[in-house]
Amino acid sequence: MNQPELISIIVPVYKVEKYLDKCVESIVEQTYKNLEIILVDDGSPDNCPAMCDEWAKKDSRIKVIHKKNGGLSSARNEGLGVCTGDYIYFLDSDDYIADNCIETLFNAVVSDGSDMCIGNLMLVDESGNFVDSYICPKQRVLTPEDIFSAYGNGSSVIFVVACGKLYKTKLFSNIRFPENKLHEDEFTFYKVIDLCKAVSVLPDMLYFYVQHGSSIMANNRPERLDCIEAYCYQSEYFFGRGYTDALNRVRGVSSYWFAEILKNNKIRITDIRFKNSMRFYRQICALAVKAGCVNRKLIVKSIIQKIICAYPFNAIVGKIIKN
């Protein structure tokens, strides 16, 4: 009897001792058994390294990598460098998955002849209570063109996040996550989808994202301006391939988040982070104008708005409004 194909599950681990056991337990209890479970201890200063080692003693499928702290992308890349599976699945160590998750995704990939399969993602609080969800209402097989044509609508987040998807390993032969950046998935997802001939999408709720205060994306901190750089690269990709609607949606999303992050942080117009983000944003806008998505007058207005949102102008405007 042929051995079922090996699936590598890559789990970056950092300061999650409160959540780690539930995460790993959800993996070892999968109905699909031929797994390579890679726990990447990213220099965690708490009890996580020892917890990972204990799990490895309990289950021979678990491999533990201990490395110097380098961030989420660095840990994922480390896992990509050592995995030997035919397929790859990413799981964050404070989240967990349904016990039939891997089997369900794998069966769809095989039956549909697809390169990647995506299940539904549910946001839950620390007690497991429902917070929100990103719903695919029905099972579908999509092409990259289908996905990019609809990119930017309410459900597009399920295509962006790296977790919750089963990938053929070959998709990551020449792709790695950008290190020392937030929004690493925004930098990466479109490159992976572009390599797919077909992508399966399932309505099954298979991935549970635990929302808590220490989540990387929970806070609107200045580092989140990395997203403007990612949106710039996306815009260049969409412009080059003629996805005008996707380009215009990226322009709108980048405009919103640029303003929001500036409003919630004292980022000065002289700050290199602001200058770089403005340079990327202007490039996004220039491509949108060139593609005929928007007129120059609206772009000038949008750029002025971003300057007003930066410090000290945002503080001055705030005082005027209060008075």
Residue 215 lies in a domain: no
Clarify whether residues 228 and 202 are in a common domain: no
Q: What pLDDT band is residue 115 in, cutting at 50, 70 and 90?
A: very high
* Residues 260, 278: Cα–Cα separation, whole Å: 14
The residue-averaged pLDDT of 295-304 equals: 93
**Domain carrying residue 242:** 222-322
Would the pTM count as exceeding 0.85? yes
Clarify whether residues 232 and 272 are in a common domain: yes
What is the residue-averaged pLDDT of the chain?
Answer: 91
Clarify whether residues 261 and 189 are in a common domain: no
Clarify whether residues 202 and 235 are in a common domain: no
Per-residue model confidence as pLDDT tens digits over 80-109:
999 999 999 999 999 999 999 999 999 999
Clarify whether residues 172 and 66 are in a common domain: yes
Q: What is the CATH number of the domain that holds 189?
A: 3.90.550.10
Q: How many domains, in total, are found in the chain?
A: 2
Q: Does the pLDDT value for residue 320 go beyond 70?
A: no
Q: How far is CA 67 from the centre of its chain?
A: 22
Clarify whether residues 284 and 305 are in a common domain: yes
* Residues 47, 17: Cα–Cα separation, whole Å: 6
* Residues 293, 86: Cα–Cα separation, whole Å: 41
Clarify whether residues 206 and 228 are in a common domain: no
Clarify whether residues 52 and 162 are in a common domain: yes
Residue 216 lies in a domain: no
Q: Does the pLDDT value for residue 41 go beyond 80?
A: yes
Give percent of the chain above pLDDT 90: 79
Structure tokens at 153: 């609508």
Q: Measuring CA to CA, which residue among 220, 277, 270 is closest to residue 254?
A: 277
Q: What pLDDT band is residue 138 in, cutting at 50, 70 and 90?
A: confident
Q: Any idea what the Cα angle at residue 81 is, between residues 165 and 183, rounded to 5°? A: 50
